[in-house]
Amino acid sequence: MAKPRFDEVKSSYERIMSDLKKKIYKPVYLLMGEEAYYIDLISNYIQENVLSEADKTFNQTVLYGRDISSKLVVEVARRYPMMGSYQVVVVREAQEIKDIEKLEIYVSSPLKSTILVICYKTKTVDKRKAFYKQAAKVGEVFESASPYDDKIPDWIIDYLKSKQRTIDVAAAKILADYLGDNLSKIVNELDKLAVIVPPNSKITAEHIERNIGISKDYNPFELCNAINSGNVLKANRIIMHFERDPASNPMVPIITALFSNFNKIFLLHMLKAKYKTSIPSTEIQGVLGINPYFLKDYEAASRRFPPTKAAGVIALLREFDMRSKGWNNASTSYGDLLREMVYKMMH
């Protein structure tokens, strides 16, 4: 069974939260998957809001998977609440429970007065087993998935909109390239910016540079722009900046950003060959995964990098990714490796 698309994850999260806010509770919540952000939001909401502070003393239990077995979870879940309608049992780090499949004994016939929340992070339970099937039948199964890189800038824009702040697409792309796909890490940085920038205001690249430390001029996003436009001087200035502080500018995010960039250029060539004339905007967003705002830049880059050259750059990036990790590279320094890689890409 394929993992859900990120838009499906977000939609599922919103539906579950809508029910919870209406006090529509399920006896079992199996929250699983590679991205922890939405798992934490759902489990934290249940832990903080279902019971009153007085009821939490007797009717709320938090267990940790590394310390327990399925038998203990079943025993706790089968207790009845004291002087209340519900008891809440939250199992954190459930992926550490070695015999978790044995929870099928409980989830096949759960108590209506118990809300059992199972947080199974970084992976998923076996969907062929009875535990998963019974949990899906009687309760709520939520599967998270990490967003693809091209979805993160729009997610950042939407998150800040919910905080009554705005950000332009280019600044969101800088954040996405620097912070990666860990939503909890991204939210932590966005919340810092939201404290500094007042409501109904715009977060700029200058705010990002001052408060997060991502240079608006020297970052993987700007390196891609320099290479795409053939600006050798700008590309070398960025490399020199990276070389002065390699700890803050590791090779892996740089190569990842470049790979994503050239993969989009190659896909654009494929779309041009398919449509011959104008490419539908739905294809630009669906296939390339870019905001139409950036299309003109990729159009210009595709003229500089025809299909065979774009494919060659992608192969080159794989080679330098291996070399940056020590393969066939005994002595080349970080800066020299970057310079050699960018030179070969641009010439």
In a domain, 90, yes or no: yes
Question: What confidence tier does 3 reach under pLDDT thresholds 50, 70, 90?
Answer: confident
Amino acid 28: pLDDT: 98
Domain-terminating residue out of 115, 144, 173: 144
**Do 140 and 154 reside in the same domain of the chain?**
no
Neighbour tally for 54: CB within 10 Å: 10
> What span, in angstroms and rounded, lies between the C-alpha atoms of 249 and 269?
30
CA distance 183 to 155: 9
Do 250 and 336 belong together in one domain? yes
The predicted pLDDT at position 63 comes to 96
Q: Among 31-40, 73-82, 144-153, 226-235, name the one with the lowest average pLDDT.
A: 144-153
User: Looking at the predicted structure, is the pLDDT value of residue 328 above 80?
Assistant: no
- 102 and 194 in a single domain? The answer is no
Q: In this predicted structure, what is the pLDDT of residue 1?
A: 59
Predicted TM-score (pTM) of this structure: 0.74
Between 330 and 111, the more confident residue is 111
Question: ∠ CA(269), CA(273), CA(275), 5° rounding?
Answer: 115
- How much is the pLDDT for 174? 86
- pLDDT for residue 284 is more than 80: no
pLDDT band at 148 (very low <50, low <70, confident <90, very high): confident
Q: Which residues contact 339 (CB under 8 A, 6 or more apart)?
A: 236, 239
Between 146 and 88, the higher pLDDT residue: 88
Lowest mean pLDDT among 7-21, 33-47, 187-201, 269-283: 269-283
339 in a structural domain:
yes
pLDDT, average across residues 288-307: 85
CATH number at residue 230: 1.20.272.10
**Amino acid 169: pLDDT:** 86
- Calculate the average pLDDT of the chain: 91
Q: Which of 15-29, 198-212, 261-275, 321-335 has the lowest mean pLDDT?
A: 321-335
Q: Model confidence at 180, in pLDDT bands (50, 70, 90)? A: confident
Do residues 22 and 130 share a domain? yes
Secondary structure E strands in the chain:
28-33, 60-64, 87-92, 114-121, 140-144, 165-167, 201-203
How many CB atoms sit inside 10 A of residue 139's CB? 20
For residue 270, is it within any domain? Answer: yes
Instruction: Tell me if 81 sits within 8 A of 61, measured CB to CB.
Output: no
Is a pLDDT exceeding 80 seen at residue 329? Answer: no
Looking at the domain assignment, is residue 281 inside a domain? yes
The residue out of 123, 144, 165 marking a domain boundary is 144
Tell me: do 307 and 261 sit in the same domain. Answer: yes
342 and 236 within one domain: yes
262 plus 312 within the same structural domain: yes
Confidence of residue 146 (pLDDT cuts 50, 70, 90): confident
Q: Is residue 1 one of the residues assigned to a domain?
A: no
Do 291 and 322 belong to one domain? yes
| Residue 243 burial class via C-beta count within 10 angstroms: exposed 0-12, middle 13-18, buried 19 and up | middle
Instruction: Give the least confident one: 88-92, 125-129, 177-181.
Output: 177-181
Q: Is residue 128 part of a domain?
A: yes
User: Are residue 196 and residue 227 in the same domain, yes or no?
Assistant: no
327 band by pLDDT with thresholds 50, 70 and 90: confident
Banded model confidence at residue 5, pLDDT cuts 50, 70, 90? confident
Average pLDDT, stretch 67-86? 93
- 186 and 101 in a single domain? The answer is no
Q: Determine the pLDDT at residue 247.
A: 87
Domain boundary among 92, 127, 144: 144
Spell out the residues 6+ positions from residue 163 whose beta carbon is closer than 8 angstroms to its own.
190, 191, 194, 199
Identify the weakest region by mean pLDDT among 74-78, 235-239, 293-297: 293-297
The mean per-residue pLDDT over the stretch 63-83 comes to 94
Task: Give the number of domains in the chain.
Answer: 3
Percent of the chain's residues with pLDDT above 70: 99
User: Which pLDDT band holds residue 134 (cuts at 50, 70, 90)?
Assistant: very high
Residue 60 lies in a domain: yes
Same domain, 121 and 161: no
Q: For residue 13, give its domain range.
A: 6-144
Q: Does 28 map to a domain?
A: yes
Q: What is the CATH number of the domain that holds 203?
A: 1.10.8.60
Please check whether residues 248 and 321 belong to one and the same domain.
yes
CATH number of the domain at 28, please. 3.40.50.300
pLDDT at 291 over 80: no
Q: Which residue has the higher pLDDT, 35 or 148?
A: 35
